[in-house]
Structure 1
Amino acid sequence: MTHLFDDAARAGVLGHMNDDHSDDNLLIARAFGEDRDAAAAVMTGFDGDGGTWLVELSDGAPATLKVPWPGGAITERREVRREIVALYDEACLRLGLEPRPHA
């Protein structure tokens, strides 16, 4: 059964990703989605199995992208950051970009 995070966890993670890491959202969408030229992406949700993004494709059409966590299913809020960082690193690798260091 997929783990569902509480409202506070969802609000915190989504707020942080969309306010502070909008460029990372787009990198993830381009690397894991169907359109390497996607125009924008907003993280809209996540659960124990992965993250979900609303992507604006290069032709302006919307698409929903669900990406599984690289490390497998999770159940703890602290694990979300680890998995998003892993998605970012993999996105950079797929796109041939140098990832920034993680604090």
Structure 2
Amino acid sequence: MTTFSSDVVDAILGHMNGDHTADNLAIVRAFAEPAATSATMTGLDELGGTWDAIVDGEAQPVTIPWLGTVAERADVRREVVALYDAAVERLGLPARETH
């Protein structure tokens, strides 16, 4: 089992919630809560990411498994990008040029 240090998790969460709020929402809508109006990434481990999805004004925790294997920090970025790309395709959203 891979356990990331709190510093690593905090850095990833800060980046996702500071720079990728729309990506968080797309991932949550595509894979867990289609009616979500916002989503905040709250945790992660080698199995997947956890978000608080706001549905009807209430926070609902959701865990979404990674599409591939996560063994180290660099793998998390790859897997978040993979989830985002799959979410865009699933939701029929326009793709971004870069991540």
TM-score in same-fold range (> 0.5): yes
Q: Look up the SS of the partner of 1:44 in the other structure.
A: strand
Q: Look up the SS of the partner of 1:38 in the other structure.
A: coil
Runs of 4+ in 1 over 2 A off after TM superposition: none
Alignment pair present for 1:62 and 2:59: yes
Alignment pair present for 1:102 and 2:98: yes
After superposition, the C-alpha distances for 1:36-56 in whole angstroms (9 at most, x for unaligned) are: 231110000000010000010
CA shift, 1:11, in A, is 1.0
What is the one-letter code of the residue matched to 1:18? N
Q: Aligned residue for 2:70?
A: 74
The number of aligned residues is 99
Q: Aligned residue for 2:35?
A: 37
What is the one-letter code of the residue matched to 2:77? R
Q: Look up the SS of the partner of 2:94 in the other structure.
A: coil
Alignment pair present for 1:50 and 2:48: yes
Alignment pair present for 1:18 and 2:17: yes
Q: Look up the SS of the partner of 2:62 in the other structure.
A: strand
After superposition, the C-alpha distances for 1:55-93 in whole angstroms (9 at most, x for unaligned) are: 101x1122111011101x311101100000000001101
**Identity, % of aligned pairs?**
48
- Counterpart CA distance in 1 for 2:71 and 2:98 is 22
CA shift, 1:97, in A, is 1.0
Q: Look up the SS of the partner of 1:16 in the other structure.
A: helix
Query: Under a length normalisation based on structure 1, what TM-score does the superposition of the two structures give?
Result: 0.90
